[in-house]
Amino acid sequence: MLHHLPFFNLNPPESVTVRIKSCMENPVIAYLFPAENTLSMSAIPLKAAERILRKAGAKRVSKAASEEFSKFLEELAGGIARDAAQLAQHSGRVTVTEQDVLMVRKIRKT
């Protein structure tokens, strides 16, 4: 659902989804910091995803395969990062440490 932002006199780009959960949520913040996975750009570069696929034995890798693999890795890494951040917060810290990431790996058995 795209909202018009009259106070800025602009519309958000089509790739950005603005979600207004309640009248208390600020539409400017929702526009500047869009919901997860609404931007088309991936955090993991396509060349890095292609390189991983090639090291795994693929002789040729299509762009679509690299894009899909990149999305998958981003979702996987995002879940691990969220869990590690929660562990740090539970421990009363704002910094995620190596031990937090290792604990998530141990819990998830990855």
The dihedral region occupied by 4, where left means phi > 0, alpha psi between -120 and 50, and beta the remainder, is beta
Q: List, for residues 27-55, the tens digit of each pLDDT value.
A: 555 555 555 544 456 789 999 999 999 99
- Reported as a single tens digit per residue, the pLDDT across 10-28 is 455 555 554 544 444 555 5
Determine the Cα–Cα distance for residues 74 and 36; give it in Å rounded to an integer.
Answer: 11
Residue 38, CB-side half-sphere exposure with 13 Å CA sphere: 17
Own/partner contacts of 26-33, CB < 8 Å, gap of 24 or more, are 27/3, 31/5
The answer to whether the pTM exceeds 0.85 is no
Domain boundaries, the chain: 62-108
Neighbours of 97 (CB within 10 A): 13
- Report the CATH fold assignment for 62-108: Histone, subunit A (1.10.20)
